[in-house]
Structure 1
Amino acid sequence: MALRQEVSAWRPAVRGVAEVFHAHFTDYAYPMHVHEAWTLLIVDDGAVRYDLDRHEHGTPHDTVSLLPPHVPHNGSPATSQGFRKRVLYLDSDVLGEDLVGAAVDAPDLRDPVLRRRVGQLHSALALPGDELEADSRLTLIGERLRDHLSSPARSPLRARQRPDPVLARRLRELLDERVVQGLALEEAAALVQAHPAHLVRAFSSAYGIAPHQYLTARRVDLARRLLLDGRPPGDVAAAAGFYDQAHLTRHFRKLVGVTPGRYGDRRKASVR
């Protein structure tokens, strides 16, 4: 089999994520090394074998692996087909150093909900403009990881919290005031004096939609009005709060079913 090495890495504009790293290796072994950040790893194809604190571990595709900072580990393909992985390097303020020991004892977590959320976070980080979504997903991931590592039974289950419609309404009002400017989750939490994770859950419970989905829908509505006023999509993207025209097009097509250009052109809107 021909050797294969594909790597992409970037630093997103999301607080708490030091680096995003995607790689596909067929015959490459990492030597023992350490990271300053927490390493949150999922494997999409194949499997990785690694040693952590002198114990051997593996990462099949249905697990999430969390490797603590400053603890030596290595890594190599567990099969001849190699592996394809996605990694997030998280700053220490996402997970405290008090959880290092628990992560060393149990770095591989079998949790389908956590696995899905980590994949969704990678998707949100892939393109600029979806920072509120990434912030929200990272907050819930951090909370679930802490549940895994801090509870006596190492269970991800959290006691159900009571609905908080007042808190949800306060966040909705903030989002309505800043449709174009946007609002970071950390700033919103400080303004309403609530924990970010509780704020996201309260909003989602009250309105059946996550805060980032609500903000995107409001921006698409604004874009529709501007397009019907005859403004070109390139101008509408910035005026409606989108990162660029590609960002507008991606969400507009998802919510409306057509691109902004076709929506604003009556001659093309009915073409199949």
Structure 2
Amino acid sequence: MDKVQYQTVPNQEIGLIDANYRTFAFQRHYHLDFHIGLITQGEQKFHYQGSSYHAGTGQIVLMPPDEMHDGQSKLDSGYQVKVFSLDPHWLSDLADLKRSSDMVGFNQLVINDAFLFNTLVELHQNLANPSLSQLAQDCLPYEGFARLFEQYGAKEQKSVVPLGNQSVATLKEYLMANLDQPVKLEQLSSLCQLSPTQFQRHFKAKVGLTPYAWLSRLRLEHGMKLLKSGVCGTDVAHQIGFYDQAHFSKAFKATYGVSPSQVG
């Protein structure tokens, strides 16, 4: 049976996931946050940038934000994983990047490093401890991620994916400002100075999803952030463009494996 626990910590830039997946499979999707997954049991398989990968017990998966991927168990017995969900801006500050055009990158997607794995598992467990002091909550991530940055980190330039006379990043900013509004294809194509047909074709080629599927994921990802910050499910549904709580709950559970009320 699939079991997923999403937990918030005082630092809202950090989210914790503790999951046991057996039958649940993630369809092609992306995250707004950086995800660091620690496979504690079993084996996961996934596709990323046209290649197939798998990660087993004791391995670490580093998934950057805005990158398309899927995920499911490789074994019938499933897999267990602890995940850090980290705000990209916070992670860049933690890595002490000097320029806003820089971002954190890593030279490996799957890492096999027992010492680092055990360090991060301990950090995950400590941050999930409600009795941990505020100062410890603030300081432990710096210590826990230090080896990750030192051994595997890399500074990268933020990539610009063009879309007509705009970029995918500009389009995302526009949609984030209008998540509660009904968005029309004509609006998006005009923003990029493309015809609706051109926009759909170019968008699918650049991003790997239809505009509708991409917007749906964007809404749910932002909805997850709002839930973690303490906003109630009904308000979240309205803020991200769902005008019916039931439809929001159904879409959320299909995407994340839990209902909105289980986040927190």
Q: TM-score, normalised by structure 1?
A: 0.49
| Unpaired stretches in structure 1, ≥5 consecutive residues | 152-272
Match of 1:145 in 2: 148
| 1:16 alignment partner AA | E
Is the CA contact 2:39–2:79 (under 8 Å) kept in the aligned structure 1?
Answer: yes
Q: Does 2:128 align with 1:126?
A: yes
Count of residues paired in the alignment: 145
Higher relative contact order (CA 8 A, sep 6+): 2
Is the CA contact 2:37–2:83 (under 8 Å) kept in the aligned structure 1?
Answer: yes
1:99: how far off?
A: 4.9
> 2:89 & 2:145 partners in 1: Cα distance?
10
Match of 1:269 in 2: none
Q: Does 2:105 align with 1:109?
A: no
Is the CA contact 2:120–2:145 (under 8 Å) kept in the aligned structure 1?
Answer: no
Equivalences for residues 249-264 of structure 1 within 5 A: none
Quickly say closer, same or farther: Cα 1:135–1:112, change in 2 above 3 A.
Answer: farther
Is the CA contact 1:121–1:134 (under 8 Å) kept in the aligned structure 2?
Answer: no
Q: Hey, which of these two has a bigger chunk of strand by percent?
A: 2
Structure (1 or 2) with the larger CA radius of gyration? 1
CA RMSD of aligned residues (A): 2.1
The superposition leaves residues 182-239 of structure 1 with CA deviations (integer Å, 9 ceiling, x where unpaired) of: xxxxxxxxxxxxxxxxxxxxxxxxxxxxxxxxxxxxxxxxxxxxxxxxxxxxxxxxxx
Helix, strand or coil at the partner of 1:58: strand
| 1:150 alignment partner AA | A
> 1:121 & 1:115 partners in 2: Cα distance?
10
1:150: how far off?
A: 2.2
Helix, strand or coil at the partner of 1:28: coil
Equivalences for residues 58-137 of structure 1 within 5 A: 58-96=54-92, 98-99=102-103, 102-103=105-106, 106-130=108-132, 131-137=134-140
| 2:117 alignment partner AA | R
Q: Does 2:2 align with 1:5?
A: yes
> 1:13 & 1:136 partners in 2: Cα distance?
12
1:142: how far off?
A: 2.9
Match of 2:31 in 1: 35
1:14 maps to which of 3, 6, 11? 11
Is the CA contact 1:117–1:137 (under 8 Å) kept in the aligned structure 2?
Answer: no
> 2:6 & 2:12 partners in 1: Cα distance?
16
Percent identity, please.
Answer: 20
| 1:40 alignment partner AA | I
> 2:2 & 2:91 partners in 1: Cα distance?
31
> 2:147 & 2:16 partners in 1: Cα distance?
20
1:20: how far off?
A: 1.0
User: Which 4+ stretches in 1 moved above 6 angstroms?
Assistant: none
Q: TM-score, normalised by structure 2?
A: 0.50
Quickly say closer, same or farther: Cα 1:35–1:118, change in 2 above 3 A.
Answer: same
Is the CA contact 2:16–2:83 (under 8 Å) kept in the aligned structure 1?
Answer: yes
